[in-house]
Amino acid sequence: MKEEGQVKEIPAKKEQFSEWYTAVVLKAELADYAPVRGCMVIRPYGYALWENMQARLDARFKATGHLNAYFPALIPESFLKKEAEHVQGFSPQVAWVTRGGDSELTEPLALRPTSEAIINYMYARWVKSYRDLPVLINQWCNIFRWEKTTRLFLRTLEFLWQEGHTLHRTQEEAQEETRRILNIYVDFVENDLAVPVIAGKKPESEKFPGALATYSIEALMPDGQALQAGTSHNLGQNFSRAFDIRYLDEDNTEKHPWGTSWGVSSRLIGAVIMTHGDDRGLFLPPRIAPYQLVIVPILYGKNDAMVLETCQKAKEMLNAFRAKLDDRPQFTAGWKFNEYEMRGVPLRVELGPRDVEKNQAVLVPRDGSGKRTVSLDRLAEEVKNLLEELQNNMLSRARAWVASVTTSATTLEEFKKNLTEKPGFVKVHWCGAQECENRLIDETRTTPRNMPLEEQNTTGRCIICGKETRTLIYYARTY
Ligand SMILES: [Zn+2]
């Protein structure tokens, strides 16, 4: 049977997580491997998912006063070298263009690994007075990083992202912006993607090259590994000094503005797949699913015309949703059920001759919670409620799971035991010393994720040296 065969081709999520992930990405037609190692093609279904994510995040940026612009992908080598830490941090991953047509270029051009350098260079030409501030610009674009090991969506040589780059008059404003964006990321990732995150500050060793402070949101994947889902950096005056951005303030003195930069990328698609998928395939949160529901007619060869007509009507009733009617006669209803489950469509609406007679439809949510029969008169309302319920349940379920594998440790032995028994986040107190961090990393093969903003008021002893501290930090294995 074709239906059965299709399901069996996806390895079990629990036993073969990595194979399961790749199979789901390929079979659901989200992406495919490109001819160049480490590159991927985002297929229409995956791109529709990205577009929905993009639209919802973009609306939040616009609502907080940001505008979109586009800067070139080619960046002169000398620009990257202007901020010392920045070039050091990125140089192992930069891809270079050294030839144009028949001739060697006099200066190699980097394919942007991030755009601080080119954008701040332009800002130096645009910002002259305090009246020009703040500058609140975002860019949606592709990024290149020459990664050694790659995985579809999670780590590829080229990927899609947004990067915000802002300038402010004061340090306080820049810090406010850094935190405002972090809050937007939390809201977007938790409420739209239904992926719970820990929001916090990165330790020095993990901050963005050239930043004063980096904040991140960290998600936990079902194999117990953390995935950095977004970052927001307070750049201080580092880039405005390096690129000599100066403005004349109200007091008639020249000053360097304070900067921020922040980004999330298409790797969030990987987080969505891993968090919600199951042995039958993808399960997409209704707010971002390319199709929120699919209508499948149940045809017996008798009264088919009437059933198809009612399906059309149902689709019109549901025009407030991203609805698809699959009335292709060459596929059976059973095949369609499996196909749309595998592709993660949150809700299926079934309509057969008996349903038409009774003026009803059958709703089947993707979470396996069972069929429900509803009157066609209340179809739109029932669908709306059910989609909201699904969205909320997805977040609650993911949250409960993360909580169940988040542990605390006060000794190295306890840390290692926790990690073996329940791979996930391990919370520890830390004195802030680099030696203590290095030892913990070496001993446990985990990395520090962040110092959660909401949990910094407990006193404890550093897990390594025993010194009293109020700093709590999350550790995990990571992608
Ligand atoms: Zn210590």
* Amino acid 44: pLDDT: 98
Contact 163, 262 (CB under 8 A): yes
> For residue 463, how far is its CA from the centre of ligand 1 (angstroms)?
7
* Amino acid 8: pLDDT: 58
pTM of the model: 0.95
Decide if pLDDT at 365 tops 50. yes
Decide if pLDDT at 166 tops 50. yes
Q: Which two tokens stand for residue 203?
A: 């330790």
Decide if pLDDT at 464 tops 90. yes
According to CATH, where is 3.30.110.30 located in the chain? 407-478
> For residue 419, how far is its CA from the centre of ligand 1 (angstroms)?
20
* Amino acid 91: pLDDT: 83
> For residue 211, how far is its CA from the centre of ligand 1 (angstroms)?
24
CATH number for 407-478 (one of 3.40.50.300, 1.10.3720.10, 3.90.420.10, 3.30.110.30): it is 3.30.110.30
Q: Which residues surround the ion ligand 1 when the cut-off is CB under 5 Å?
A: 431, 433, 436, 462, 464-465
Using pLDDT thresholds of 50, 70 and 90, give the confidence band for residue 455.
Answer: confident
Half-sphere exposure of 108 (CA within 13 A, CB side): 12
Q: What is the pLDDT of residues 48-63, one digit of tens each?
A: 999 999 999 999 999 9
Distance CA 166, CA 259 (A): 5
Distance CA 108, CA 441 (A): 37
Percent of the chain at pLDDT > 90 equals: 93
Question: What CATH homologous superfamily does 293-386 map to?
Answer: Anticodon-binding domain (3.40.50.800)
> For residue 412, how far is its CA from the centre of ligand 1 (angstroms)?
12
Q: What is the pLDDT of residues 211-269, one digit of tens each?
A: 999 999 999 999 999 999 999 999 999 999 999 999 999 999 999 999 999 999 999 99
> For residue 408, how far is its CA from the centre of ligand 1 (angstroms)?
16
> For residue 411, how far is its CA from the centre of ligand 1 (angstroms)?
12
Decide if pLDDT at 314 tops 90. yes
Decide if pLDDT at 84 tops 90. no
Q: What is the pLDDT of residues 178-204, one digit of tens each?
A: 999 999 999 999 999 999 999 999 999
> For residue 475, how far is its CA from the centre of ligand 1 (angstroms)?
15
> For residue 456, how far is its CA from the centre of ligand 1 (angstroms)?
16
> For residue 447, how far is its CA from the centre of ligand 1 (angstroms)?
15
On average, the pLDDT of the chain sits at 95
> For residue 444, how far is its CA from the centre of ligand 1 (angstroms)?
15
Q: How far apart are the first and last CA of the chain?
A: 37
According to CATH, where is 3.30.930.10 located in the chain? 16-276
Q: What is the pLDDT of residues 392-427, one digit of tens each?
A: 999 999 999 999 999 999 999 999 999 999 999 999
> For residue 430, how far is its CA from the centre of ligand 1 (angstroms)?
6
According to CATH, where is 3.40.50.800 located in the chain? 293-386
As its CATH architecture, domain 16-276 has 2-Layer Sandwich (3.30)
Written as one letter, the residue type at 235 is: L
* Amino acid 67: pLDDT: 98
Instruction: Tell me how far the alpha carbon of residue 129 is from its chain's centroid.
Output: 36
Distance CA 474, CA 202 (A): 10
